[in-house]
Amino acid sequence: MVWPVGSATVDAWALDSRGGRFILASMIYVCAGMYRSGSTWLYNAVRLILEDAGAPDLAAGWAGEKDRLITRRNVVIKIHAFDEDLAARQIIALTSHRDLRDVAASLARKFKTGFSIATLRETVESHERWSRIAVFDLHYEDLLADKMRELQKVAAALRLPPAVLERLPYESILARIEGEKFTETRSTSGRFDSVNLLHEGHITDGRHGSWEGTLPAGDVNAIEKEFRPWLVAKGYLA
């Protein structure tokens, strides 16, 4: 689906000389969220928005398939670690973040790997580097408060023409995101859905503050000690 947009100035759209309409030309969309921060929701929001916007030759998937995906005209890639090769390309990057105590608690509940301060260091560093070039940073707590508002923010960040934004079926897109489930027949060797990238039992406890009752006091103290400036800057600590 494409719509006329008059004389709108756009970044990733090209004028179709046959119909005098703007169509999405070519772009790599990178969803580079912190671990367990709503990054899969963000990925599916971008994927479904572009699908409804009529992005030609659209492909989407996990960063492990990057080499295959970037051969397509329009690509959505989900990633956590900073990737210099991707960052050097023509991209629209979006990030997400969450209280690091909740990140640690969610990792522990989902993957049963135990607490790792090194993992938090890695995700903070990657988020910081992606944030320097990102057009949008999803606050996990804002997503909990109002998913429709955040969906519309994501759409606006994709630099779509105003007429496209106005005609997107937001209610339908949000319902599709909320309806996404892990499907066994689409499971990869990594045990996640190859289309929506959801793991089996993906959401363990999505509440803000779920770290209370999950993380031992020693782990909480270690996080607050090392990452206090970050936690304060993001509003998680006073």
- Confidence (pLDDT) at 225: 97
What residues pair up with 183 in beta bridges, in sequence order? none
Instruction: Supply the pLDDT for residue 224.
Output: 97
- Hunting for tokens 């522990």 — which residue is that? 108
pTM of this structure:
0.86
Q: In this predicted structure, what is the pLDDT of residue 1? A: 36
Query: Tens-digit pLDDT profile for the chain (238 aa)?
Result: 333 333 333 345 554 444 444 556 689 999 999 998 999 999 999 999 999 998 889 999 999 999 999 999 999 999 999 999 999 999 999 999 999 999 999 888 866 777 889 999 999 999 999 999 999 999 999 999 999 999 999 999 998 888 888 999 999 999 999 988 888 888 776 777 888 888 665 465 667 778 898 899 999 999 999 999 999 999 999 9
Which token pair is 86? 């991707």
Domains belonging to the chain, first-starting first, are: 13-233 (3.40.50.300)
Count of helices and strands (H, E) across the chain = 11, 7
